[in-house]
Structure 1
Amino acid sequence: MKKSKYLFIGITFLLSFSCALFVAMKVFPNNPFSKTKNNTETSLQNKIQDGDLIFQTSESSQCEAVRIATNSKFSHCGLIYKINGNLFVFEAVQPVKLTRLEDWIQHGKGAKYLIKRLKNADAVLTPATLQKMKDYSQGFMGKEYDAYFDWSDTRIYCSELIWKIYKNAAGIELSKLKQMKDFNLSDARVQKILKERYGNDIPLDEKVVAPSDLVDSDLLKTVIDTY
């Protein structure tokens, strides 16, 4: 009798855990839902909204070239999603993935960051629209990072990821697209990266959106700036 009782309890626990796991993974696969919130995330919970954009300064040679070419201190960005009560950054690195917010912040220079939000977010980013954005984001999960800044969806880079999610899932163009030739490509450090990537065939007419274009968008307002 006792064995049957314990078996029933064990099965009930497993079923409950399986349901929780299914719910957590339904929004995104490989969701690291099991980690608990730390002080950083807890303090930001009431300040951050689903769909906020977050920017930071990264220190790789490519990121340095991006900062120089765009005349901006920002070289990486991501899209903040609230999932099962936790804060994540959906970002295009290698590969495209969800990163816990506090971990993402620590990856930036000096752990500094800037958070921006649509000025009319409360009216535009309805639960239905946010779900469309998350559903659309699923198609990018696990894709390779695009070090060549090609505008196709085969590979993807950070600011391209955000721009396309807002455009194709929410119907919002956060900024006008530019061409590669519109940026400052004359610096030797930028030239070095371009030479490594393209040789003598630089795609100057390629559509491009940089982190700085999103930062400077007239549609966004600053929510948090730790710089």
Structure 2
Amino acid sequence: MACLLAASTGPVLGLLVSVLPSSTACAARAAPPPPGLVLRDGDLVFQTSLSGQGEAVALATGSRYTHMGVVLLLGGRPVVLEAVQPVQLTPWPEWLERGDRGHVVVKRLVDVEERLTPAARARMHALANKWIGRRYDPYFRWDDDRLYCSELVYKLYQRAVGLSVGVLRRAGDFNLASAPVRRLMRRRFGGAAGRFDPREPAIAPQQLFAAPGLVTIFSN
């Protein structure tokens, strides 16, 4: 639910906005991925966003990873489909640079050859093209009018591959009791247009990160 509470000006939730502990502010930058790292259509990528509101998001979601996207290959080059403002394709090197200290985790389906057939990958690309330019969803609703990051990835896999990656929760299941979270919710959901519905289906990057059937192919 991290991007759920994220700022509309940066890579948020997916629900998750950014978790940038002050104790790590001066930590060394992570080593970049090796030149030989081969990314594929459908790889899931996770990072800690550097956008604000990190304390509230961390408390609400308990997740280190506050932003995510999915890799697509265009002309053989990897780009990241991500729900920021608006939904867009970001070159892989640029996406890496935006995260906290360059840290990233890349995960892939264990049975990728079986699941991501040419037809499934074509459906992924077609759906991505349909969503590019769509607005980011600051209210984290489960419709398709707007999208947040982990929602986009979950729905892409569900509709293009027929696979649910991660377990859906309800918005009210996240930790919403702390003062920083409550302040943020008052700002974000105070108006009638953005009223918070605790029954709304929701998914945070952490639910996809912890999903069974994925293997980590890179982490720095």
TM over 0.5: yes
Q: What is the CA distance between 1:139 and its match in structure 2?
A: 1.5
Q: What count of residue pairs does the alignment treat as equivalent?
A: 186
- Aligned residue for 1:215? 209
CA contact (8 A) 2:138 2:148 kept: yes
- Aligned residue for 2:46? 55
How far apart are the structure 2 equivalents of 1:105 and 1:129? 26
CA contact (8 A) 1:159 1:211 kept: yes
How far apart are the structure 1 equivalents of 2:54 and 2:156? 22
Structure 1 gap segments, 5+ residues each? 1-39
Equivalent position to 1:74, from 61, 65, 68: 65
Q: What is the CA distance between 1:219 and its match in structure 2?
A: 2.1
Q: Which 4+ stretches in 1 moved above 4 angstroms? A: none
- 217-226 or 159-168, which moves further after superposition? 217-226
Q: What is the CA distance between 1:53 and its match in structure 2?
A: 0.3
- After TM superposition, the score normalised by the length of structure 2 is 0.80
Amino acid at match of 1:210: A
- 197-206 or 90-99, which moves further after superposition? 197-206
Say if 2:94 is the partner of 1:100: no
Q: Secondary structure at the match of 2:124?
A: helix
- Aligned residue for 2:3? none
Amino acid at match of 1:79: V
How far apart are the structure 2 equivalents of 1:187 and 1:61? 17
- After TM superposition, the score normalised by the length of structure 1 is 0.78
- 118-127 or 149-158, which moves further after superposition? 118-127
How far apart are the structure 1 equivalents of 2:173 and 2:61? 9
Q: Larger relative contact order (C-alpha < 8 A, sep ≥ 6)? A: 2
Say if 2:215 is the partner of 1:224: no
> Residues 14-60 of structure 1: CA distance to partner in whole angstroms, max 9, x if unpaired?
xxxxxxxxxxxxxxxxxxxxxxxxxx6881552x2211000000132
How far apart are the structure 1 equivalents of 2:125 and 2:54? 27
Say if 2:194 is the partner of 1:203: no
How far apart are the structure 2 equivalents of 1:141 and 1:59? 22
Amino acid at match of 1:52: D
Say if 2:35 is the partner of 1:43: yes
- Aligned residue for 2:121? 130
Structure 2 gap segments, 5+ residues each? 1-31
Q: What is the CA distance between 1:123 and its match in structure 2?
A: 1.3
How far apart are the structure 2 equivalents of 1:194 and 1:84? 42
- 58-67 or 110-119, which moves further after superposition? 58-67
How far apart are the structure 1 equivalents of 2:34 and 2:208? 26
How far apart are the structure 1 equivalents of 2:37 and 2:219? 16
Please identify the structure whose Cα radius of gyration is greater. 1
Aligned CA distance change for structure 1 residues 207 and 44 (closer, same or farther; 3 Å): farther
- Aligned residue for 1:112? 103
- Aligned residue for 2:158? 167
Q: Secondary structure at the match of 1:147?
A: coil
Q: Name whichever structure is richer in helix by fraction.
A: 1
Amino acid at match of 1:147: P
How far apart are the structure 2 equivalents of 1:86 and 1:63? 31
CA contact (8 A) 1:63 1:76 kept: no
- Aligned residue for 2:176? 185
Give me the CA root mean square deviation: 1.6
